[in-house]
Homo-oligomer: A and B are copies of this chain.
Amino acid sequence: MNSNLPIGIFDSGVGGLTVYRALHEQLPDEKFIYLGDTARVPYGTKSLATVERYAVENARFLAAHGVKLLVVACNTMSALALPTIRTSVAVPVVGVIEPGAQAAARASKEQHLGVIATEATVQSGAYRRAIKEVAPQAEVLERACPLFVALTEEGWAETDVARTVATEYLKDLRGRVDTLVLGCTHYPILRRVIQETIGADVRLIDSGAATACAVEELLERENLRRRSFDTHTGQLLKERARARRLCDDLDHFYVTDAAERFARVAERFLGSAPSRLEAVEVWGQDELQSTS
The residues of A with any CB-CB pair to B shorter than 8 Å are 38-41, 45-47, 50, 119, 146-147, 149-151, 153-154, 156, 159-161, 164-165, 168, 257-258, 261, 279
Contacts known (A168-B159, A261-B45); A150 close to B153, Cβ less than 8 A = no
Please name the residue on chain B nearest to A147 by beta carbon.
Answer: B150
**Which 8 pairs, one residue from A and one from B, show the smallest C-beta to C-beta distance?**
A150-B150, A47-B258, A147-B150, A50-B257, A164-B164, A161-B164, A47-B257, A46-B257
Bound together, the chains give a CA A150 to CA B165 distance in angstroms of 12
Q: Determine the distance from Cα of A147 to Cα of B279 in the docked complex, in whole angstroms.
A: 26
> Are A168 and B164 in contact, CB atoms less than 8 angstroms apart?
no
Which single member of B38, B50, B153, B279 contacts A39 (CB below 8 Å)?
B50
The answer to whether A45 touches B150 (Cβ under 8 A) is: no
Contacts of A50 in B (CB 8 A): 39, 257-258
Q: Are B150 and A161 in contact (CB under 8 A)?
A: no
Q: B46 and A258: CB pair below 8 A?
A: yes
Partner of A146 from B119, B146, B150 at Cβ < 8 Å: B150
On whether the beta carbons of B164 and A160 are closer than 8 Å, the reply is yes
Tell me the minimal C-beta distance from A67 to chain B in angstroms. Answer: 26
